[in-house]
Amino acid sequence: MSSFVKSLKPSFEKAIYPILVFLKDKNINPNAISLTGMVVISIGSFFVYENYNRIGAILLLLGGLFDALDGALARFANKSSSFGAFLDSTIDRLSDALPIGAIILFFSKAQDVEGVFLGLLALMFSFMVSYTKARSHSLGVDIPVGVFERTERFGTIVIFTFLGFYKLGLLIVGIGAFYTTLERIFYAKKHLS
């Protein structure tokens, strides 16, 4: 989580407090929230593929909000678990891939090689951002750096999809994720023997 997103987290959790109370009172499982978010993102991605960019972006945003709720609910309701954390991370990777994959398929259908290339660039380096952190963590070094993490990438895709500027969104995500990947590689090199 970037420092920018960390700074917004207390305000966000304060804003969603009534929702958390409702979900806790209804005994909703955080894992169900995670899965619901993925389903909504899948549907939004389908609309993006069909070039209904505005409804697609709105559904992606809604799915992203579900994704933000699951962890907050788990902490609030004392339902945090190792499996829940594993499931959330796994679903996050799918939620990263689905909208970008939809845009790649959209450009592929239109035989737009430039769009496909930008989509593959964004997808590849988005996964590298996550992989470099996970691999470094498995070797005993936590990487606290990263200017273009998941929230920034997902937000960029949602905004530029809504505006219909798919290529610009993919380019920004690709460059931002590439920079963050390098940032993490250099941090790991410095701290791993």
pLDDT score of 5: 66
pLDDT score of 124: 97
Domain ranges of the chain: 3-191
Q: What is the pLDDT along the chain (193 residues), one digit of tens a residue?
A: 566 666 777 787 788 888 888 888 888 999 999 999 999 999 999 999 999 999 999 999 999 999 888 888 888 888 888 898 899 889 999 999 999 999 999 999 999 999 999 999 999 999 999 999 999 999 999 998 889 999 999 999 999 999 999 999 999 999 999 999 999 999 999 998 7
Question: 148, 179 in Cβ contact below 8 A?
Answer: yes
pLDDT score of 159: 98
Q: Hey, is 165 helix, strand or coil?
A: coil
Chain-centre distance for alpha carbon 171? 16
pLDDT score of 78: 87
Q: Which CATH number fits the domain 3-191, given the four candidates 3.40.50.10540, 3.40.50.20, 3.40.190.10, 1.20.120.1760? A: 1.20.120.1760
Based on the residue annotation, tell me whether 67 is a catalytic residue of this protein. no
126 Cβ neighbours under 8 A, 6+ residues apart = 96, 97, 100, 153, 173, 177
* Catalytic position from the list 92, 96, 112, 142: 92
- pTM over cut 0.75: yes
